[in-house]
Structure 1
Amino acid sequence: MSDRISVIGGGSIPDESRTVATAVGRELATRGLTVVCGGRGGTMEAVCRGAKAEGGSTIGILPGERREAANEYVDVAIATGLGHARNALVPLNGDAVIALSGGHGTLTELGFAGIYDRPVVGLGTHDVPGLETVETAEAAVDAVEAALES
């Protein structure tokens, strides 16, 4: 079974952030890593689109009760009916976390990643303790792979 990497970031993002998220998804897929995300739009859709473009696998943990609400690039949609409380489940279901730019929801997921003791790599995200900051999608995936090997 491949490692799962949770990718967190904003639900509404500018084009520059979309490009970064897509690159992260592509890089994860080319290395055989499964994407876990919140399953909706913005960062989540872009990372899933990038992963699918390289033949990767994606899991979306949705806030609502309908699996059909997932973006079109999600392979496995998990409806939770939990709203924002589902933010605890996204980092929980990854072996490591890559954090991209985002707002309060991303910040809560970063907090849960710390609670669950997941390795966390940041690429243009919040500045929080324990976060390894990198500059590229490739460096982000290198860092999570190194953390999982140690």
Structure 2
Amino acid sequence: MARQISVIGSGAEWEAAAEEVGRLLAEAGCTVVTGGLGEVMAAAHRGAKSVGGTTIAIVPGERREDANPWADHVVVTGIGHGRNLAVAASGDAVIAVGGEWGTLAEVALAKTLGRTVVVLDGGLTVDGVRTAATPQEAVDVALGLRS
């Protein structure tokens, strides 16, 4: 079974970093899981697809069509922000890129579930959560290649 890593976050200014994270994860053989919508989520999927990776979108609404165009598999939840639990739980680890309150909720859920969580520098600041200076470092930490 392929490792699944959840990429969470928001903010158009974070798209380049998220795309690199998605690409690096796919190159490492991981499936990239996101909340399935735009900005960071779409960029992470776009990066994964650029190197032939596999993506999963867990959307908050009731329509598969709401997922970004780089999603291979779409999970329709119909539960709004409640889908954050599914995103956090579906990753073997979680990488946060940018983000706001929804991202913070996903970080908290992932930590509660015992997942490795890493936040890209310049995004959220959360006590007890590892930060990474670069997308490569974030991926390495998520995959257990760096302590």
For the criterion TM > 0.5, the same-fold answer is: yes
What TM-score comes out, normalization by structure 1 length?
Answer: 0.93
Q: Is the 8 A contact 1:4 1:94 kept in 2?
A: yes
What TM-score comes out, normalization by structure 2 length?
Answer: 0.95
Q: Is the 8 A contact 1:120 1:130 kept in 2?
A: no
Q: Is the 8 A contact 1:121 1:143 kept in 2?
A: yes
Aligned equivalent of 2:36: 39
Aligned partner of 2:12: which letter? I
Q: CA deviation at 1:130?
A: 2.7
Q: Secondary structure at the match of 1:99?
A: strand
Distance 1:72 1:130 in 2: 35
Whichever structure has more strand as a proportion of its residues is 2
Aligned partner of 1:131: which letter? V
Aligned partner of 1:133: which letter? T
Aligned-CA RMSD value:
1.5
Distance 1:22 1:133 in 2: 18
Aligned equivalent of 1:130: 128
Distance 1:46 1:75 in 2: 14
For residues 53-72 of structure 1, what are the structure 2 equivalents within 5 Å?
53-72=50-69
Segments of 5+ residues of structure 1 without an aligned counterpart are none
Q: CA deviation at 1:131?
A: 1.1
Q: Is the 8 A contact 1:8 1:100 kept in 2?
A: yes
Picking from 81, 87, 92, the partner of 1:95 is: 92
For residues 75-90 of structure 1, what are the structure 2 equivalents within 5 Å?
75-90=72-87
Q: Which runs of 4+ in 1 moved over 2 A?
A: none
Q: CA deviation at 1:115?
A: 1.1
1:13 equivalent in alignment to 2:12:
yes
Q: CA deviation at 1:129?
A: 2.7
Distance 2:134 2:126 in 1: 18
Segments of 5+ residues of structure 2 without an aligned counterpart are none
Aligned equivalent of 2:4: 4
Distance 1:87 1:8 in 2: 9
Distance 1:54 1:104 in 2: 31
The count of corresponding residues between Structure 1 and Structure 2 is: 146
Q: Is the 8 A contact 1:35 1:57 kept in 2?
A: yes
Q: CA deviation at 1:85?
A: 1.1
Q: Is the 8 A contact 1:97 1:120 kept in 2?
A: yes
